Amino acid sequence: MASARASAHGGRQGGAALPERLQPAAAGAPGGAAVAPLNKGRSRSRCRCRCPCRGGPRRDAPPLPQPGEAMAAGEAVTLQLGPYAGCVGSHWWGLQAAAPPGPAELVAGTLLRAAGGREESRTPRLIALELKGGVGSLGRGAVCPEAPAAWRGDVASYVEQPPAGGASPRDRGQRMGDASSDGKSSSGTSLQDATSAPAQLDVSWDVCSGSSMQVWSDYLNVQLHPRSIYVIQQYNHNGESGRLEAFGQGERLLQEHGCVEELEDRLHFYVEECDYLQGFQVLCDLHSGFSGVGAKVTELLYDEYSGKGILTWGLTPVIHNMGDFQKNFYRLMNTVLGIVHLSSHSSLFCPMSLNGSLGLKPQPPITFPYINYDASLNYHSSAILAAALDTLTVPYRLCSSRGSMMHLAETLNFSGRKVAAAWASVPFPAVNGHSLPDVLHAYQQDLPWKPLSSCREQNVSCCFAQSVVLRGISKEGHTSSCPGKQPTSPLHAFETAEQILQQYSHAVFPGAFSTFHVLEQPCMTRPPYPRFFSPLLTRQGFLLDKPTSYSAAAVESIPVLTSLQSSSVLHTLLYSLYKDVQKLNIRRWASFFSAGVEQADFHEAVEALRTLSQCYETGFGDDKSEDETDSD
């Protein structure tokens, strides 16, 4: 069983909201500044169904647990908005499928649903919005057949032509593309294979050649529900025209009645079958017009599902062509508007990218000491983010925990700090034959994890609160000293992994409110996960002194360490974006605003970004960081 420990100045158990006395406020009051939701109001008709989230429990719903009773993790609905979100999602669902059989430490039902009522066959509880041509390689076995529908009318099917250059790596002679499930959608279609029989998905393709992976469905190895894929027909995945490039385009798309109605129908379908809905996970492309889609989607969730958790992950691929100033301008504007609006309507928002910077000034991508990845391949970069995401979300998926998505958010989002930064060690450098104290003792000066939120790496920063997860490591037996012998370091005085992590965290981030979760279940890295690991790793992902005799393809699992933080580094990130926007002459870019964003609303969002950055000031060195940003 996995276990958790929470601490603040030495000890506090559980995942409850942080007491007011522990809420740090920045000097001069900016740290306590709150950012009001940018909710302009919508004239949509509200849902009249009796969903579980509105006080209308299912007829077969179990009674709520009584105080003191154990409560398994509730369900979450996941939304993937955009092509890169699909890349991360494909790997994430693959990690769920690769989980070992038998007793598990994570509740599979949090993310997956029983397909057709069969517990042994599970599909993601997923709604994925994609562009025309972005899901062309889904094969006949990729859509899970459900119970016969009550609808007796005609069902229209559409077959998408294969992309130029031949079939995709996972094509098996049949290609079912974008198909309508009910023929009623005006702005998009859903993916359904009405005639296929269950098929075992083939994952034996050559995953070593990442260049052959063109879209995320090329390496999707799980079956999807027919309602999962929603294809936006107005915009193209490829080509120079018809692209979803600007924030306003995405906002306008989700203001169309047909699109909103279709999205609500799919949400209600998944929500109504949940026994206990925790909330929603939103994976959203931050750099494109999908940031506007995400803004409207989170606003809808915020309005319609009050009290449920909304965890939003703003995803950006590694940017290579920094010479195209128009694309960089659009990317910066989409990112700024996305951060402000997505954080406003989410319980917690976290940008995730292997880019060294989200601003106009290029920075090299993040490197990992034991991964040889190609930053130009979304197939590679998204796999690293997926492994981190699968670990960051552990706190509300544990069998042994009463924590929820809302508990995790409330641990980090106090004092207006609704943006968090992600850090990860993928893989965690656990040395074969050494104890956890030995490993962490080597990182007294440098942190063991890398930034995944395009924050500048800092050896020392102020951390207000954090959620730390370590997986793939034994929880007991970490004492390496002989009885009666003086411990090598303070870390060696403890035996359990939770105690060791707690002691290490207190030394690195004194005063931070921290929660810790440790589980022995590693992150499984079987195909279609990329084969990009160092030859210094064993099959279980542990570090050796010299290269192994077998190839990197033999690494089947890895230990992972992550930290989701409310930290002062976010002041630098957010304020640098604010300064980048201030340097621009936005009057030169009428095309961006013609897509639907009013300049007055944009200026309001920029000021909201500045206010948000002030929530992470500490009064110790922040002025210096702003001066450094100004001098860039």
Q: 181-190, 193-202, 234-243 — which one is most confidently predicted on average?
A: 234-243
Nearest to 174 by CA among 201, 154, 147, 210: 201
Sequence-distant contacts of 116-121: CB under 8 A, at least 24 apart: 116/144, 116/145, 116/146, 116/147, 117/147, 121/198, 121/223
- In terms of average pLDDT, the best of 183-192, 207-216, 332-341, 498-507 is 332-341
Separation CA 143–CA 608 (nearest Å): 42
Cα-Cα-Cα-Cα torsion 51, 54, 58, 63, nearest 10 degrees, comes to 160
Quote the pLDDT of residue 398.
93
| Residue 353: pLDDT over 70 | yes
Report d(CA 314, CA 79) in Å as an integer: 12
Query: How much is the pLDDT for 481?
Result: 53
Average of per-residue pLDDT across 31-44? 45
272: left (phi over 0), alpha (psi -120 to 50) or beta: alpha
- pLDDT tens sequence across 415-457: 889 999 999 999 999 998 888 998 998 887 788 899 999 987 6
* Identity of the residue numbered 506: H
pLDDT category at 114 given cuts 50, 70, 90 is: confident
**pLDDT (tens digit per residue) in 566-594:** 999 999 999 999 999 999 888 888 889 98
Asked if the model's pLDDT at residue 58 lies above 70, the reply is no
Quote the distance between the C-alpha of residue 35 and its chain's center: 23
Query: Which pLDDT does position 609 carry in this prediction?
Result: 97
Q: What is residue 465's DSSP assignment?
A: E
CB 127 within 8 A of CB 227: yes
Query: Which phi and psi angles does 284 have, rounded to 5°?
Result: -130, 130
Radius of gyration of the chain (CA): 24
- Of 292, 609, 574, 318, the closest CA to residue 452 belongs to 318
CA distances to 11, 233, 294 from 265, in Å? 45, 18, 17
Q: What pLDDT score does 480 carry?
A: 52
Q: Determine phi and psi for 369, rounding to 5 degrees.
A: -65, -25
The contacts found for 34-38 with CB under 8 angstroms, 24 or more apart, are: 34/415, 34/416, 34/615, 35/340, 35/343, 35/344, 35/416, 35/418, 35/608, 35/611, 35/612, 35/615, 36/344, 37/302, 37/344, 37/345, 38/340, 38/341, 38/344, 38/345, 38/604, 38/605, 38/608
Taking only the tens place, the pLDDT of each residue in 518-564 is 999 999 999 999 999 999 999 999 999 888 776 656 899 999 999 99
Mean pLDDT of 489-512: 88
> Which spans in 48-107 are helix H?
83-97
Distances (CA, A) of 109 to 53, 120, 143, 489: 18, 11, 19, 41
Q: For residues 421 and 419, what is the distance between their CA atoms, to the nearest angstrom? A: 7
Confidence of residue 343 (pLDDT cuts 50, 70, 90): very high
Per-residue pLDDT at 267: 97
Q: Which two tokens stand for residue 255?
A: 């203001």
- Cα–Cα nearest to 339, from 570, 582, 597, 83: 570
pLDDT over 80 (residue 284): yes
Residue 241 has pLDDT above 80, yes or no: no
Beta strands, E only, 50-183:
75-81, 112-115, 118-124, 126-132
Mean pLDDT of the chain: 78
The half-sphere exposure of 40 on its side-chain side, counting CA atoms within 13 A, is: 11
CB under 8 Å to 20, separation ≥6 — which residues? none
Question: How far separated are the first and last CA of the chain, in Å rounded?
Answer: 49
Burial of 324 from C-beta contacts in 10 A (0-12 / 13-18 / 19+): exposed
Of 134-143, 147-156, 246-255, 450-459, least confident by mean pLDDT is 147-156
Q: Is the pLDDT at 325 greater than 90, yes or no?
A: no
Domain boundaries, the chain: 1-26+81-146+156-161+170-201+212-575, 576-630
State the average pLDDT over residues 227-241.
Answer: 83
Ramachandran region, residue 185 (left: φ > 0; alpha: ψ -120 to 50; beta: rest): beta
Question: Residue 553 region, left (φ>0) first, then alpha (ψ -120 to 50), else beta?
Answer: alpha
Task: Please give the Cα distance from 349 to 421 (Å, whole number).
Answer: 9
Indicate the class that CATH gives domain 1-26+81-146+156-161+170-201+212-575.
alpha beta
pLDDT band at 117 (very low <50, low <70, confident <90, very high): low
Residue range 360-386: mean pLDDT, rounded = 94
Quick one: average pLDDT of 374-394?
96
Amino acid at 349: F
Question: Which pLDDT band holds residue 21 (cuts at 50, 70, 90)?
Answer: very low
- Is omega for the bond preceding 100 within 30 degrees of 0, making it cis? no
Length of the chain: 632
Residues 263, 295 contacting (CB under 8 angstroms): no
Quick check: 384 and 426 in contact, CB under 8 A?
Answer: yes
Write the Ramachandran bin of 11: left for phi over 0, alpha for psi from -120 to 50, otherwise beta. Answer: left
CA dihedral 24, 26, 32, 37 (to 10 degrees): -110
Burial of 147 (0-12, 13-18, 19+ CB in 10 A): exposed
Residue 459's pLDDT band, with cuts at 50, 70 and 90, is: low
User: What count of Cα atoms within 13 Å lies in the side-chain half-sphere of residue 207?
Assistant: 23
Q: Is 229 helix (H, G, I), strand (E, B) or coil?
A: strand
Q: What pLDDT, on a 0 to 100 scale, did the predictor assign at position 478?
A: 59
pLDDT at res. 293? 97
* Cβ atoms 91, 384 nearer than 8 A: no
**Res. 336: pLDDT tops 90:** yes
